[in-house]
Amino acid sequence: MSKDKYFIIDFDSTFTQVEALDELGAISLQNHPERSQLLDQIKEITDSAMAGQSSFSKGLTERLALLQAHQNHLPQLISRLREKVSESIRRNRDFLHQYADQIYIISSGFKEFITPIVTEYGIKEENVYANTFKVDAQGNLVGFDEANPLCLDKGKIRLLEQLALPGDVYVLGDGYTDYEIKEAGLANKFYAFTENVVRDNVVAKAEHIAPTLDEFLYQNKLPMAISYPKNRISVLLLENIHPQAVELYRREGYQVETISGALSEEELCEKIKNVSILGIRSKTQVTRRVLEHANRLMCVGAFCIGTNQIDLNACLEAGITVFNAPYSNTRSVVELALGEIIMLSRNVLDKSNKMHQGKWDKSAKGSFEVRDKKLGIVGYGNIGAQLSVLAEAMGMEVYYYDVVEKLQLGNARKCHSLRELLEKVDIVTLHVDGRPENKNLIGAEEFAAMKDGVIFLNLSRGHVVDIEALVQSIKSGKVSGAGVDVFPEEPATNSDPFESELCGLPNVILTPHVGGSTSEAQENIANFVPNRIMDYINSGNTYGSVNFPNLQLPELKNAHRLIHIHANVPGVLASINQVLAQNQVNILGQYLKTNERVGYVITDIDKAYDKQVVNDMKQVPHTIKFRILY
């Protein structure tokens, strides 16, 4: 521990998220008829004083007069402030305790409420410098000790001169009076603390910005609660990802940039540098070339189901985890499929079109209930299985075919081949994934195998159906109605035209790939993906990752977690354990999972360890990535 550094921390809007006198006003003026005007006035004076635009002592006098506060208000104020200690201060309690001798709270606020708060974080009472209230006989807070330099303009400077700290002085604060300490030559460094409030004129003058205490500690190589300041994690979100995702990442302290459209490979190669988390939807291609330009990328979030647009192996080899949202829009697709099955069974679309043209064509011909009809689901995955349950609830007889063994839900019946299913059912609906082998899974031969007058739906992937064969089958009457949501070629944007031979055919519902496009689904996705990614960053948990070995880890308790990603070749685990043994590290738990390309080893170790371990771990042959969680 270096003894020659002193850390001066401001209280209002730095140690706590708020200005204490504003909070006191909210309490003391609770029932005052002009409460909101008075509070605005107090806030204005505070801001003006903090920005260095008005006399501090005058402002303090004015604020106290407006506050009409009593000493009985203080306990309530203290408990409010206790709840509003800044997040990064709260999580770095260990640093405050460990460096208590070197930390000073210097504030133009009042000791009466500052001391009880900061001492809970290990700050020494004798290191708290602040004003004190003058109280009248009735207990009203009527003034302050005028002999205290902190009630005066440039009070912090005067105090620092008196203290004459024998070493380097680092100041962390949000206000102009904090900056003035450095300006007066009494501090070596001033960090504008912007976690709670950003004062433009202070930030403009500051040579260092600390968006959190973590950043301050990181820059000064001091011990901190998290392995990496979260504001150093930069997130790039493309393709209009739902604002909820932006909000979640910002709340976590990450830096977020959003771009409304997709980027070309060229543009993404340019943009990806320094990005830690990339969020995309279906249009952005994450190629090997893009990854070669990424120097900090940890995760790719696919804010959709499909991940064909991402080179998963290239990500794996670079130690980049990919997460998607496999179930978030399942229900939406199922509801659309069900709706279309009913609409097509009743020929609603054509009837409705005629009505719009003023034609009344009342007839039951070609209209059927869906009850007791045989529904054939090809691909009994998340969507297929969910559809199976809801279709049965409507009285349909469900058949399914899947290339892998699946749990049969309800009374659904399994078919042993695609052909068996096609021959058996009245309605065929595709819910297979987009693997290349599924190209033209349904072509002329398959349509020929279906019952005459079959209803056909594809809400999976466009290339799965031979469109020409579908068109012919509709024209010949083999297919009596079709619902198509996905196409082999889809327009890149809403302003590009859509062209298909399916256009204009009878009883055909065409939708622009909107099966999963509902508000609920977008919100589900926007919650699901960031939560998986933040869990991975904070705990190493890869559960649900599309490309990484899936490890669900216990919570990290009183330990450090070493996260090692390496090429899956024999002997790496032995080398890791050799490094740990050589450094006399006490292993509390170890978890390993591999896939054909990478190995993922998590080692929880004792809090006490030599920094050399980190260097040695990075040197283990075949290491792809290494990080440590505190």
Ligand X SMILES: NC(=O)c1ccc[n+]([C@@H]2O[C@H](COP(=O)([O-])OP(=O)(O)OC[C@H]3O[C@@H](n4cnc5c(N)ncnc54)[C@H](O)[C@@H]3O)[C@@H](O)[C@H]2O)c1
Binding region for ligand X (CB under 6 A)? 305-306, 326, 329-330, 333, 378-384, 401-404, 431-434, 438, 441, 459-461, 485-486, 513, 515-516
490 is annotated as an active-site residue:
yes
Q: Are 337 and 483 in contact (CB under 8 A)?
A: yes
Of 550, 382, 237, the C-alpha closest to 245 is: 237
User: φ and ψ at 272, to 5 degrees?
Assistant: -75, -20
Phi first, then psi, for residue 516 (nearest 5°) are: -100, 5
Catalytically annotated residue among 461, 532, 561, 566: 461
**What is the smallest separation between the CB atom of 429 and ligand X, expressed in angstroms?**
10
- Residue among 137 and 404 whose Cβ is closer to ligand X: 404
Which C-beta is closer to ligand X: that of 450 or that of 486? Answer: 486
Task: For the CB of residue 433, give the shortest distance to ligand X in the complex, in Å.
Answer: 4
Min CB(517)–ligand X separation in Å:
6
Dist. CA 203–CA 183, nearest whole Å: 14
Identify the sign of the CA torsion 128, 130, 134, 139. negative
Nearer to ligand X, 128 or 375 (CB): 375
Please report, as a single letter, which amino acid is at residue 429. Answer: T
- Where in 111-225 does DSSP place strands (E)? 128-131, 133-135, 141-144, 168-173, 189-193, 208-210
Distance CA 266, CA 290 (A): 8
- Using CB atoms, what's the residue nearest to ligand X? 381
Provide, rounded to whole angstroms, the least separation between the CB of residue 383 and ligand X: 3
Least Å distance between CB 244 and ligand X?
Answer: 19
What tokens were used for 508?
Answer: 């055909």
CB of 218 to ligand X, least distance (A): 41
Query: Nearer Cβ to ligand X, position 198 or 389?
Result: 389
Residue 489 has φ and ψ, to the nearest 5°, of: -120, 120
Question: Which residues pair with residue 208 across a beta bridge?
Answer: 191
CB of 66 or CB of 245, closer to ligand X:
245
Element (DSSP H or E) covering residue 105: strand 103-110
What is the distance between the alpha carbons of residues 306 and 508, in angstroms, rounded to a whole number?
Answer: 25
Q: What tokens does 511 get? A: 């939708």
Q: Residue 157 or 442: which CB sits closer to ligand X? A: 442
77 vs 133: CA distance, rounded Å: 14
Q: How far is CA 240 from CA 75, 220, 261, 284, 578, in A?
A: 47, 37, 6, 12, 47
Between CA 362 and CA 351 the distance in angstroms is 9
Which CB, 195 or 402, lies closer to ligand X? 402
Tell me, yes or no, if 288 is annotated catalytic.
no
Least Å distance, CB 531 to ligand X, is: 19
Return the number of the residue (62 or 490) whose C-beta is nearest ligand X: 490
Minimal distance, residue 354 CB to ligand X, in Å: 28
Nearer to ligand X, 330 or 547 (CB): 330
Which one of 158, 208, 232, 513 is the catalytic residue? 513
Cα 457 to the center of its chain, rounded Å: 35
* DSSP per position, 42-96: HHHHHHHHHTT-S-HHHHHHHHHHHH--BGGGHHHHHHHHHHTB-HHHHHTHHHH
Selection from 396, 367, 238 nearest residue 302 by Cα: 238
Catalytic pick among 87, 490, 523, 597: 490
Residue 377 contacts residue 418 (beta carbons within 8 Å):
no
Q: How far apart are CB 188 and ligand X at their closest, in Å?
A: 57
Catalytic site positions: 461, 490, 513
